[in-house]
Each structure stands twice: as C-alpha cells, then as structure tokens.
C-alpha cells in the first residue's frame, strides 16, 4: 500500500532485521508465526517456487513517491496459506522469479485497493500482474458496505480482528526496518486470503462473483504504464475552451514536461505546474521577457527552460492550420446534455437501490456523461468501456432506453 513519506535515500542495504513479535495468523493452524524475510536471490527463488505451486497468494507493497516521477519500491509482502514473507527489493538484485509469479496466469494475486500496487509492480514486471482479486472491490459488490472500505474495516467486520493503522507514514527505504514497520507490513497481507475466501463465498451466493472478476480484469486495462508524452495534455483539466493552436502549444509543452520528468525522475509539478502549462498555451509568449511575466512562472523556470519553451512555442506558431490538433469534443447541446446526465444519474441511483450497491459502483458519473456525449455527437459505438460487461443487461440497456425515449 502506498505510504506518502518524506523521500530519503536508503541507508546501506542491511538485511538483518529485528525479530518482530510473533503474530497469530488465521489459516495457519492458529500457531504463532513470524514473518520470514527474503533478502537474497536464492531465498526468493525458493519462495517463488512455492508460490507458483500454491496457485494463490496475497500481495501488498510499500513504496515512496513524494519527490520522484517513478515510485520507489521499498518492500513487497507476500503471504500464502502457510507463511508471510517480506521481500526486500533493495537487497534482492534479480527479481525475475517474482516477476514470473506475479505475471503467471496460474497464480491468483489477492490485493486490497490495488490500483497503486499494480502500477508499482507493473513497472517492476513490465506488464500488469494478473489474474487478481481485490478485496475492496469484492466487498463493495456485497452491498451495505462503502465503495472504498478499508482493509482494517473489512478485517474487523468479517474476521472480528482489530488492526491498528500503525506505520501508514513511514520511510520504507531506510534499513534496517523497525519492529513496528515489520509487524505492520506483515499484517497488511496476513488476513487477505481468509478475507478473500469469505467475500468470494458471499458473492457466489449473490451471483456476483463474476462481476468482481470483470471489475478486477478491467482495472488492469485501465492502468497505463506506457504514458505517451504526446498524449499527456489530455489528462489536464480546463482545456475544453482552448483553440486548436492553444491545444497544439499545450500538447507540445506538456510532452516536453513529461519527458523532462521521466528523464530526471521528478514529479511533473517540480518541472512546471499544470496551471503554468495552460497559461503558456493561452498567452503563447514569443520572448523570454514575455515568458517571465506570466503569473506563476518563476525566475528558475525562465533560467532553466526559457529558451527551450520559446523555441517550442515559435514552432507551433509557424504550423499550418490543417496540422493543428482538433478541438476536444463537446456535447452538441450542453443544456440538453446536462438534463440527460441528470436523468440517467437518477436512474443509476434507482438501480443501485434495487441492487443494494453504491451508485458509483453501478455507474460513475464520468461514464454516464461520456455515454450522453457519445450519443449526442452520433458515435456509432457510444458505450464507454465501463458500461459494457455485466452492467450491459442490468444497467446500460435501461440507460439507453431512457436516452432514446
């Protein structure tokens, strides 16, 4: 699980750790078990052979991402039915056996709230870990629970065990890990497998287990590891009113920033904040002096990037009109679109009440708005990805019927 901690360079990679107090772990005969540290290639290879044979493991990660573009992996926790392991990625120099496990189609990976874990492990593996089962997603489909129920909450509700929040803000790059860190990290995976069993049994009875599998698979498709610098401007807000030339400037300066951030391993905002990118697109300064007058542009920005940015903008100003990017699509009739979205949102709330599910799980407002926009602009296939699959007969057909009427 992600822990936003102050960035710090790891100390010397000490593999010796303090012995944590023993934990009573369910599914392990209720005996006292100490988490086992893995800090060498041979230890990792032996553990991975066991995990491949097990067919299902619980996984969590600890990482730091406050002053870097890429998350810095500090610990990988893995539990099977018999043992909790803490894999030290700072000490193990060959993760190949673990990558094989995480990407094996024959090993189910059980996570809780795994979007950020998938990103960090996807960067390690070069592809998304799969197949997976996310206990937060699973719990939401049971009903009468929140859309983002915490791991601690689910362990308390389904297993009757109270867990503290412990080391939620901690430096996972420093070695040796403290006893408190080790205990916290081990507990984060210790209960995932029994919790997943209870949730899966309940979902099977409700006929919704397949829905959860679809959602987990869709999540692996939504998380992009290969961020295209040329498309990074599309993730910025406040761009619908920009002209085509404004968008061309924004596209180029955003792509430049993305490459800078990647190459220097810095957060995007450390290179140039979003607000200043949009200001560059609107003002389109033609000299360093004009650049310096833009609100929020610091002297350090001018000194480091001034000439580069002015040269980029000058190139855009010379581009022929027909080569500029198209304006981003807008509803043909904003008032009509607003009424349609409101109508569909009310329908989603009604369907959610029938199913006993959170409305945002039935259909997010973003998906509903996208459906309305696609219908109004006449796309031949108006369905957003989210409204396909299990939602099609239960939710989407009713929404389409309302739109057509």
* pLDDT at position 381: 85
Q: Is the pLDDT of residue 28 over 50?
A: no
Evaluate whether 23-222 and 334-404 have a shared fold. Answer: no
Above 70 in pLDDT, residue 18?
no
Fold of 23-222: Nucleotidyltransferase; domain 5 (3.30.420)
Domain boundaries defined on the chain:
23-222, 229-323, 334-404
Beta strand segments in 35-101, E: 36-38, 56-64, 72-79, 84-87
Banded model confidence at residue 27, pLDDT cuts 50, 70, 90: very low
Give me the mean pLDDT over the 72-77 stretch.
97
- The residues that are catalytic are 60, 62, 117, 184, 188
d(CA 24, CA 173): 27
pLDDT above 70 (res 24) = no
CATH of 334-404, one of 1.10.240.10, 1.10.150.80, 3.40.50.2300, 3.40.50.300: 1.10.150.80
Residue 164 has pLDDT above 50, yes or no: yes
3-state secondary structure the chain: CECCCCCCCCCCCCCCCCCCCCEECCCCCCCEECCEEECCHHHHHHHHHHHHHHCEEEEEEEEECCCCCCCEEEEEEEECCCCEEEECCCCCCCCHHHHHHHHCCCCEEEECCCHHHHHHHHHHHCCCCCCEEEHHHHHHHHCCCCCCCCHHHHHHHHHCCCCCCCCCCCCCCCCCCCHHHHHHHHHHHHCHHHHHHHHHHHHHHHCCHHHHHHHHHHHHHHCCCCCCHHHHHHHCCCCCCCCHHHHHHHHHHHHHHHHHHHHHCCCHHHHCCHHHHHHHHHHCCCCHHHHHCCCCCCHHHHHHHHHHHHHHHHHHHCCCHHHCCCCCCCCCCHHHHHHHHHHHHHHHHHHHHHHCCCHHHHCCHHHHHHHHHHHHCCCCCCCCHHHCCCHHHHHHHHHHHHHHC
Task: Give SS3 for 105.
Answer: coil
In this prediction, what percent of the chain has a pLDDT beyond 70?
A: 90
pLDDT at residue 68 tops 70 = yes
pLDDT over threshold 60, residue 20: no
Residue 376, helix vs strand vs coil: helix
Superfamily classification of domain 229-323? HRDC domain (1.10.150.80)
Q: pTM for the complete prediction? A: 0.86
Give one DSSP letter per residue of 186-235, joined into a string. Answer: HHHHHTHHHHHHHHHHHHHHHT-HHHHHHHHHHHHHH--SS--GGGGGGG
What average pLDDT score do residues 146-170 get?
A: 88
**Per-residue pLDDT, 167:** 66
What pLDDT, on a 0 to 100 scale, did the predictor assign at position 330? 65
The average pLDDT across 178-199 equals 96
* CA-to-CA dists, residue 158 to 154, 198, 211, angstroms: 6, 7, 21
**Burial class for 55, CB neighbours closer than 10 Å (0-12, 13-18, 19+):** exposed
Structure confidence at residue 331 (pLDDT): 56
What integer pLDDT is reported at residue 166 of this predicted model?
67
Average pLDDT of the residues of the chain:
89
Contact 293, 280 (CB under 8 A): no
Residues 109-144: tens digit of each pLDDT: 999 999 999 999 999 999 999 999 999 999 999 998
Question: 22 pLDDT band (50/70/90 cuts)?
Answer: low
Confidence category of residue 9, pLDDT binned at 50, 70, 90:
very low
What is the Cα–Cα distance from 361 to 341, expressed in whole angstroms? 17
CA atoms of 280 and 253, how far apart (whole Å): 8
pLDDT score of 201: 98
């Amino acid at each position: 699980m992600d822990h936003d901690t102050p960035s710090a360079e790891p100390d010397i990679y000490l593999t010796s750790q303090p012995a944590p107090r023993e934990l009573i772990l369910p599914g392990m005969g209720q005996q006292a078990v100490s988490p086992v540290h893995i800090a060498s290639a041979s230890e990792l290879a032996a553990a991975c052979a066991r995990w491949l044979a097990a067919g299902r493991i619980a996984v969590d990660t600890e990482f730091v991402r406050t002053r870097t573009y890429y998350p810095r992996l500090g610990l990988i926790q893995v539990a099977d039915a018999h043992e909790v392991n803490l894999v030290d990625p700072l000490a193990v120099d060959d993760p190949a056996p673990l990558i094989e496990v995480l990407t094996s189609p024959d090993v189910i990976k059980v996570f809780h709230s795994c979007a950020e874990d998938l990103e960090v492990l996807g960067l390690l593996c070069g592809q998304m870990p799969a197949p997976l089962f996310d206990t937060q997603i699973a719990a939401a489909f049971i009903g009468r629970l929140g859309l983002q129920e915490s791991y601690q909450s689910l362990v308390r509700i389904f297993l009757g065990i109270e867990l503290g929040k412990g080391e939620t803000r901690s430096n996972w790059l420093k070695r040796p890990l403290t006893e408190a860190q080790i205990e916290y990290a081990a507990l984060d995976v210790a209960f995932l497998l029994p919790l997943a069993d209870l949730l899966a049994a309940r979902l099977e009875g409700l006929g919704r287990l397949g829905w959860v599998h679809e959602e987990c698979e869709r999540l692996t498709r939504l998380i992009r590891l290969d961020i295209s610098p040329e498309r990074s401007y599309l993730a910025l807000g406040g761009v619908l009113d920009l002209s085509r030339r404004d968008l061309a400037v924004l596209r180029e300066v955003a792509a430049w920033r993305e490459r800078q951030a990647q190459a220097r391993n810095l957060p995007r905002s450390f290179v140039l904040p979003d607000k200043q990118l949009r200001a560059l697109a609107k003002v389109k300064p033609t000299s360093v002096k004009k650049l310096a007058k833009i609100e929020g542009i610091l002297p350090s920005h001018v000194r480091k990037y001034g000439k580069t940015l002015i040269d980029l903008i000058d190139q855009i100003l010379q581009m022929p009109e027909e080569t500029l990017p198209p304006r981003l699509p807008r509803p043909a009739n904003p008032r009509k679109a607003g009424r349609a979205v409101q109508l569909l949102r009310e329908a989603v709330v009604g369907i959610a009440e029938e199913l006993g599910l959170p409305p945002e799980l039935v259909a997010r407002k973003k998906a509903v708005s996208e459906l309305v926009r696609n219908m109004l602009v006449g796309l031949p296939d108006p369905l957003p990805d989210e409204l396909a699959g299990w939602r099609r007969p239960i939710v989407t057909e009713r929404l389409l019927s309302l739109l057509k009427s």
